[in-house]
Amino acid sequence: MKKLYFLLIAFSFAINGFTQKTVTIKILETSDVHGSIFPFDYINNKPAEASLAQVLTYVKQERAKTDQQVLLFDNGDILQGQPTVYYSNFIDSLNKNIISQVFNFMGYNAASVGNHDIETGPKVYNKVRKELNFPWLAANAVNESDGKPYFVPYTTFKKDGVKIVVLGLTTPGIPHWLPKNLWPNIRFESMITTAKYWIDKIKQKENPDIIIGLFHSGHDAKYGDQNPEDLMNENASLTIAQQVPGFDVILIGHDHDQFNQKVVNTKGDSVLVLDPFAGAKFISQATVKLQLNKKGKVISKSITGKLIDTKAYSPDSAFMVKFGNYSKNVENFVNRKIADFTESTTTKDSYFGPSSFIDFIHTAQLNISKADISFAAPLSFSTYIAKGLVYVRDMFKLYKFENFLYVMTLTGAEIDSYLEYSYGRWYNTMKSSDDHLIKFKLNADQTLETKKDGKVQLDNNYYNYDSAAGIVYTVDVSKPDGDKVTILSMADGSPFDLKKTYKIATSSYRGNGGGGHLVKGCGIPSEKLNSRLVFSTDKDIRFYLMKWIEEKKIITPKSLNLWNVIPADWVKVAAERDKELMFGKKE
């Protein structure tokens, strides 16, 4: 009897084997490309290791394989970064946007919306949305007039008998960084709440075999001292993977990190989460293998993931020919001479005291805005503008993002609190010259946490290291956080009054609550920030910086020396040591 039983089992397997079908779905994702279209860095005027031209080479290779189906997605923040996109967004804006052209040419199947895509303003992103041959996704960006998604919430594919649904979400942190005029009539809702709503709707309406999340949001829910339990968390991707059952693969971005990990959700199922860093340097690749029975029902599913390094691939020749003229137009744009710098300047000096780089931005902001006080931070960790002729491309080193210039009102006491908050996140409380000046990340054993290149990790983001101009002050790092800053006077020697209201110049990112300086530092409720706004430029700060520089023709970047860090002898020793840890030894 046992023998007959095993023969029947074997026969059953044999019959099923002939009726089963194996389907392989290859899912590819780019994210945070930031205008890296061509294998050339137009800002630093040198070849680049990665580009969408190289991504296409790999995509074509995978599409040529007859034993698999390929889907290609982008996960947002494509419209800002390199001059390639700035030129199309704001200079050559009448023609079809270069990203629309490139994405359509490459055959993308869907994309999500990133915060830097919204930063370009509705005129740009609405134009791109109409030009794309595929859906632009963001289910939690809701149209305030009718309560429906402003962009497409999800899209469906049928590949070799397999039904695939892709749900798109974007980070809800956008209102904290960007002014309302860049997202009129849009309300950004919780990624977690939205995912729960749409996953149920998708299951009921679509009954798919594979559900993919395409989320412009990172994996570290504690990033920037955020509460992981907050429904409006900026980086809720892993939280959704764990708490919202139904997803097979979640493709993430926004945080410029490499991530390839399976997590277990509340039902005990594993979810593959992939993040391809930024700048087209990596492609996220999820391989889904499915077994279908003779009725087309999925009876088994296996999912694996890896990150593909695009440096290993040459640019696609057809791509380079197709967009060759546009590349030349961008080159001509960035190579236009605008001024002469009599001195070189770098952000590397900006972390240890007053610097010519940041003080040049302060000077420009004060002159353009006519404000009393300026706040600014280094927006590139390590950048350098050489002495001599300065070109349009150098303006992207000088000011990295398309922020607007804001003029807001703060009291003297709020200005003091603002600076205490900034320097409290920037500098340690030192007990001797043996201590570090800069706050670095520490491991559990209190040793310095390092990156892959061996350099240290900053405990807080350098682009939140705001200093001020228009006032004279000291930062005493021997004192505790909240008591480090002493404002001595205005820059012209007149008294600084804690009770007086001043006009301050800052970026729209900071003015909308980015970094927490105004909300956490000054204690101004986020909904009250707009009431402090006196003036906003109609174009980005870089545009006005460039205009101001062109008018002057000859520029001498120099430190204003309006603030200093004390005790000086401790700081000098610690700064030299910390600078080497951050940037390596001088060559």
* % the chain with pLDDT above 90: 94
Please answer whether residues 371 and 505 qualify as being in contact, where contact means their C-beta atoms are separated by less than 8 angstroms. Answer: yes
Mean pLDDT in residue range 93-113: 98
Domain spans in the chain, listed from the N-terminal domain onward: 19-330, 336-583
Q: What are the CA-CA distances from residue 399 to residues 72, 78, 169, 205, 274 (Å)?
A: 32, 18, 29, 47, 30
What confidence category does residue 89 fall into, taking pLDDT thresholds of 50, 70 and 90? very high
Question: Coil, strand, or helix at residue 458?
Answer: strand
Name the strand (E) or helix (H) holding 18. Answer: helix 2-19
List pLDDT tens digits, range 379-409: 999 999 999 999 999 999 999 999 999 999 9
Which residue spans within 281-394 are E strands per DSSP?
282-292, 298-309, 337-341, 345-346, 373-376, 384-385, 388-391
Topology (CATH) of 336-583: 5'-nucleotidase;  domain 2 (3.90.780)
Lookup: tokens for 57: 């080479």
pLDDT over threshold 60, residue 27: yes
Please answer whether residues 3 and 48 qualify as being in contact, where contact means their C-beta atoms are separated by less than 8 angstroms. Answer: no
Out of 140-144, 380-384, 583-587, least confident range: 583-587
Out of 125-129, 176-180, 242-246, least confident range: 176-180
How crowded is residue 509: how many other Cβ atoms within 10 Å of its Cβ?
Answer: 24
Closest CA to 427 of 281, 322, 563: 563
Please answer whether residues 557 and 394 qualify as being in contact, where contact means their C-beta atoms are separated by less than 8 angstroms. Answer: no
How crowded is residue 446: how many other Cβ atoms within 10 Å of its Cβ?
Answer: 6
User: Cα angle at 223 between 218 and 225, to 5 degrees?
Assistant: 150
Look at the chain and count its residues: 587
Looking at residue 302, its pLDDT comes to 97
Looking at residue 587, its pLDDT comes to 44
Closest CA to 565 of 479, 456, 463, 442: 479
DSSP state for residue 24 in the 8-state scheme: E
Closest CA to 252 of 191, 162, 312: 191
List pLDDT tens digits, range 526-548: 999 999 999 999 999 999 999 99
Please answer whether residues 459 and 441 qualify as being in contact, where contact means their C-beta atoms are separated by less than 8 angstroms. Answer: yes
pLDDT over threshold 50, residue 515: yes
What confidence category does residue 1 fall into, taking pLDDT thresholds of 50, 70 and 90? very low
How crowded is residue 420: how many other Cβ atoms within 10 Å of its Cβ?
Answer: 19
List pLDDT tens digits, range 36-84: 999 999 999 999 999 999 999 999 999 999 999 999 999 999 999 999 9
Going by their DSSP bridges, the two strands 162-170 and 154-159 should be labelled as antiparallel
Looking at residue 328, its pLDDT comes to 98
Please answer whether residues 555 and 339 qualify as being in contact, where contact means their C-beta atoms are separated by less than 8 angstroms. Answer: yes
Residue 70 burial by Cβ neighbours in a 10 Å radius (0-12, 13-18, 19+): buried
Looking at residue 13, its pLDDT comes to 44
372 or 16, greater pLDDT: 372
Mean pLDDT in residue range 129-139: 98
Q: HSE-up of 189 (CA within 13 Å, CB side)?
A: 20
Considering the entire predicted model, what is its pTM?
A: 0.91
Looking at residue 225, its pLDDT comes to 80
pLDDT over threshold 50, residue 312: yes
Quote the CA–CA distance of 437 and 304 in Å, as a whole number: 44
List pLDDT tens digits, range 207-261: 999 999 999 999 999 988 889 999 999 999 999 999 999 999 999 999 999 999 9
Please answer whether residues 321 and 364 qualify as being in contact, where contact means their C-beta atoms are separated by less than 8 angstroms. Answer: no
DSSP state for residue 480 in the 8-state scheme: P
Question: What's the CATH superfamily of 19-330?
Answer: Metallo-dependent phosphatases (3.60.21.10)
Name the strand (E) or helix (H) holding 398. Answer: helix 392-398
Lookup: tokens for 99: 């990203």
Q: Where are the alpha helices (DSSP H) in 262-322?
A: 317-322
Mean pLDDT in residue range 464-484: 98
DSSP conformation letters of 100-139: HHHHHHHT--EEE--HHHHTT-HHHHHHHHHH-SS-EE-T
pLDDT over threshold 90, residue 8: no
| Mean pLDDT of the chain, nearest integer | 95
What confidence category does residue 196 fall into, taking pLDDT thresholds of 50, 70 and 90? very high
